[in-house]
Amino acid sequence: MTKQCELTGVKISHGNNVSHAHNKTKRTFIPNLQRKHIYSDILNQMVRLKISTKAIKSIECAGGFDKYIVSIPNNRLSSKALKLKKSIKKKIIKSSKDEQQISKKK
Protein backbone atom coordinates (compact mmCIF):
# COMPACT_ATOMS: atom_id res chain seq x y z
CA MET A 1 0.00 0.00 0.00
CA THR A 2 1.12 3.52 -0.68
CA LYS A 3 2.08 5.81 2.15
CA GLN A 4 -0.53 8.39 1.22
CA CYS A 5 -3.48 9.94 3.04
CA GLU A 6 -6.81 8.94 1.48
CA LEU A 7 -8.44 12.29 2.27
CA THR A 8 -5.78 14.99 1.95
CA GLY A 9 -3.49 13.30 -0.57
CA VAL A 10 -0.38 13.91 1.55
CA LYS A 11 2.41 11.50 0.56
CA ILE A 12 6.14 10.94 1.01
CA SER A 13 8.28 13.96 0.12
CA HIS A 14 12.04 14.07 -0.40
CA GLY A 15 14.68 16.44 0.86
CA ASN A 16 18.08 16.72 2.49
CA ASN A 17 19.50 16.21 5.95
CA VAL A 18 21.79 19.19 6.52
CA SER A 19 24.54 18.80 9.09
CA HIS A 20 26.18 21.58 11.06
CA ALA A 21 28.98 21.56 8.47
CA HIS A 22 26.32 21.88 5.71
CA ASN A 23 26.90 18.37 4.36
CA LYS A 24 23.73 17.31 2.58
CA THR A 25 22.43 13.73 2.47
CA LYS A 26 19.17 12.59 0.91
CA ARG A 27 16.22 11.68 3.14
CA THR A 28 12.47 11.13 2.97
CA PHE A 29 9.74 12.84 4.97
CA ILE A 30 7.07 10.25 5.78
CA PRO A 31 3.59 11.54 6.73
CA ASN A 32 2.09 10.48 10.06
CA LEU A 33 -0.58 8.07 8.79
CA GLN A 34 -3.09 6.25 10.98
CA ARG A 35 -5.62 3.52 10.15
CA LYS A 36 -8.84 4.89 11.61
CA HIS A 37 -12.41 3.68 11.87
CA ILE A 38 -14.52 6.80 11.35
CA TYR A 39 -18.28 6.89 11.90
CA SER A 40 -20.41 8.37 9.12
CA ASP A 41 -23.68 9.76 10.51
CA ILE A 42 -25.38 9.89 7.12
CA LEU A 43 -24.38 6.37 6.03
CA ASN A 44 -24.88 5.09 9.59
CA GLN A 45 -21.76 2.91 9.46
CA MET A 46 -18.08 2.78 10.38
CA VAL A 47 -15.60 3.52 7.58
CA ARG A 48 -11.97 2.39 7.70
CA LEU A 49 -9.49 4.84 6.15
CA LYS A 50 -5.76 5.45 6.14
CA ILE A 51 -5.52 9.14 7.01
CA SER A 52 -2.97 11.63 8.31
CA THR A 53 -3.17 13.21 11.74
CA LYS A 54 -3.83 16.56 10.06
CA ALA A 55 -6.92 15.06 8.41
CA ILE A 56 -8.14 13.76 11.79
CA LYS A 57 -7.88 17.29 13.23
CA SER A 58 -9.61 18.74 10.16
CA ILE A 59 -12.50 16.26 10.51
CA GLU A 60 -13.01 17.33 14.13
CA CYS A 61 -12.81 21.02 13.19
CA ALA A 62 -15.35 20.61 10.34
CA GLY A 63 -17.87 19.04 12.69
CA GLY A 64 -17.75 15.45 11.52
CA PHE A 65 -16.62 13.16 8.73
CA ASP A 66 -19.63 13.78 6.48
CA LYS A 67 -19.29 17.57 6.46
CA TYR A 68 -15.54 17.32 5.89
CA ILE A 69 -15.60 14.86 2.97
CA VAL A 70 -18.32 16.81 1.14
CA SER A 71 -16.30 20.05 1.40
CA ILE A 72 -13.00 18.58 0.11
CA PRO A 73 -12.17 18.74 -3.67
CA ASN A 74 -12.32 15.46 -5.62
CA ASN A 75 -8.74 15.63 -6.94
CA ARG A 76 -7.35 15.08 -3.41
CA LEU A 77 -9.45 12.01 -2.59
CA SER A 78 -8.55 8.37 -3.19
CA SER A 79 -10.91 6.13 -5.16
CA LYS A 80 -12.32 4.66 -1.93
CA ALA A 81 -12.97 8.13 -0.52
CA LEU A 82 -14.58 9.25 -3.79
CA LYS A 83 -17.05 6.35 -3.58
CA LEU A 84 -17.87 7.34 0.01
CA LYS A 85 -18.37 10.99 -0.97
CA LYS A 86 -20.68 9.98 -3.82
CA SER A 87 -22.81 7.76 -1.58
CA ILE A 88 -23.00 10.47 1.11
CA LYS A 89 -24.13 13.06 -1.44
CA LYS A 90 -26.81 10.65 -2.75
CA LYS A 91 -28.14 10.13 0.78
CA ILE A 92 -28.20 13.88 1.44
CA ILE A 93 -30.14 14.54 -1.78
CA LYS A 94 -32.55 11.68 -1.07
CA SER A 95 -33.24 12.86 2.48
CA SER A 96 -33.82 16.46 1.32
CA LYS A 97 -36.31 15.24 -1.32
CA ASP A 98 -38.13 13.18 1.32
CA GLU A 99 -38.37 16.22 3.60
CA GLN A 100 -39.78 18.33 0.75
CA GLN A 101 -42.45 15.71 0.00
CA ILE A 102 -43.44 15.54 3.69
CA SER A 103 -43.73 19.33 3.91
CA LYS A 104 -45.90 19.41 0.73
CA LYS A 105 -48.30 16.85 2.25
CA LYS A 106 -48.85 19.05 5.31
- Burial status of residue 66 (CB atoms within 10 A of its CB: 0-12, 13-18, 19 or more): buried
Radius of gyration of the chain (CA): 19
Predicted TM-score of the model (pTM): 0.82
- Burial status of residue 76 (CB atoms within 10 A of its CB: 0-12, 13-18, 19 or more): middle
Is residue 5 one of the residues assigned to a domain? no
Between vectors from CA 10 to CA 84 and to CA 82, what angle results, nearest 5°?
Answer: 15
Domain total in the chain: 1
Is residue 42 one of the residues assigned to a domain? yes
Is residue 3 one of the residues assigned to a domain? no
Is residue 94 one of the residues assigned to a domain? yes
- Tell me the CATH number at 66: 2.30.170.40
Mind listing the pLDDT tens digit of every residue in the chain (106 residues)?
689 999 999 999 999 999 999 999 999 999 999 999 999 999 999 999 999 999 999 999 999 999 999 999 999 999 999 999 999 999 989 888 877 777 777 6
Range of the domain at 19: 13-105
Is residue 40 one of the residues assigned to a domain? yes
pLDDT of res. 1: 60
